[in-house]
Amino acid sequence: MKFTVVGAGAMGLRYGVLLQEAGNEVEFVDAWEPHVNKMKENGGVYVTRDRQNRHLVPVKVYTPEEYTNTDADVLIFFLKQMQLADMLERCKHFFTPDQYVLTGMNGMGHVKKLLNYFDGSKLIAGTALIATILKAPGEVDFVGKVGAGSMNLANYTEEPDEMTHKVVAELAKANINPTLTTNFQGTLMAKVVFNSVVNTLCTLFEITMGEYAAFEKADELSLALINEAYDVCERAGVKMLNSRQEELDTVNYVSKVANPLHYPSMYQDMSKNRPTEVDYINGYLVDLGRKYNYEAHTHAFLTNLVHLAEHTRQQRQN
């Protein structure tokens, strides 16, 4: 199968390199020029796993304007939410009506934007429970052992077709451990709720997931956010995959057992003085609640706190 990965950042590289190593043809399109230039100069990307075994993986990488191939079976989108609209416009010359689209971006907002360019019958979206760090231009670190991490995904139509099963089979061969569901909104929202707790609080307090979960009042904090998010989702008619208690259990399992030493990706953005995706996570829940005359006060407060932290860092830099 041929994949074009749009967004060769941490996750685009993780998926693309693993799919390439599983025998697929993969090309990368990226707009961050120092990164694209470094990979071209080196003839590939330097990959480490848990900061060990640095080695060069050859990759084909292009800027959006350079790339003209229209023969990919699947386009994979891995960008930060606020980068997507511009990137879609810059890349639209290589989209065709037959191509499938796969994305595992965090937050919400991307689905609506992708549907401006692709038919819903071709859209497969999911959530990646996989941690990866773009350390510097041309340098990526895959967190976790081979086979670590997993993803949940669903068709926008909620009706998996033959091509979806083929894509899932390639993801499985690449050790990405996919689980296909038939609940589109519920699958995506489970991760939005998870991130609205863990990413946001760990980022604000500059702590690892393990440090957060070890705090004696962590469950109280998590439940306040989970309950409010579920109140929003219930009003919006989203059928959640997990109960509130199961969502809390997931927060604790992932933070205490699976990734205790990990700083969530939102923290990584904050620490590099890049804008965070908070408006598409906690902020998304606030906006969705308001459509149904429900005020998600805690999520609104946290969204503002993250913006205050971003603002403060910017001010100090200047």
Q: By C-beta, is 148 or 223 nearer to ligand NAD?
A: 148
DSSP state of 92: G
Q: At closest approach, how far in Å is the CB of 7 from ligand NAD?
A: 4
Q: By C-beta, is 269 or 287 nearer to ligand NAD?
A: 269
DSSP state of 93: G
Q: At closest approach, how far in Å is the CB of 77 from ligand NAD?
A: 9
Q: By C-beta, is 29 or 229 nearer to ligand NAD?
A: 29
Residue 278 CA to residue 293 CA, distance in Å, equals: 21
Q: By C-beta, is 140 or 288 nearer to ligand NAD?
A: 140
Q: How far is CA 275 from CA 24, 29, 82, 123, 313, in A?
A: 33, 21, 9, 27, 11
Residues that bind ligand NAD (CB under 6 A): 7-12, 30-32, 35, 78-81, 83, 104-106, 128, 130-132, 134, 265, 272, 274, 277
Q: At closest approach, how far in Å is the CB of 234 from ligand NAD?
A: 25
Map tokens 């205790």 to a residue: 260
> What residue is closest to ligand NAD based on CB?
9
**2 bridge partner residues:** 25
Q: By C-beta, is 1 or 82 nearer to ligand NAD?
A: 82
Q: By C-beta, is 42 or 227 nearer to ligand NAD?
A: 42
Q: At closest approach, how far in Å is the CB of 162 from ligand NAD?
A: 27
**C-beta atoms surrounding 46 within 10 Å:** 17
Residue 278 exposure: Cα atoms within 13 Å on the Cβ side: 28
Look at residues 256, 240, 296, 302 and name the one whose alpha carbon lies nearest to residue 276: 302
Q: At closest approach, how far in Å is the CB of 66 from ligand NAD?
A: 15
Q: At closest approach, how far in Å is the CB of 217 from ligand NAD?
A: 26
Q: By C-beta, is 82 or 223 nearer to ligand NAD?
A: 82
Residue 83 CA to residue 74 CA, distance in Å, equals: 20
Q: At closest approach, how far in Å is the CB of 18 from ligand NAD?
A: 13
**C-beta atoms surrounding 237 within 10 Å:** 8
Residue 150 CA to residue 127 CA, distance in Å, equals: 9
Q: At closest approach, how far in Å is the CB of 22 from ligand NAD?
A: 19
**112: part of which helix (H) or strand (E)?**
helix 110-114
Q: How far is CA 225 from CA 127, 204, 222, 296, 306, in A?
A: 19, 15, 5, 9, 15
Q: By C-beta, is 106 or 203 nearer to ligand NAD?
A: 106
Look at residues 32, 82, 89, 90 and name the one whose alpha carbon lies nearest to residue 61: 32
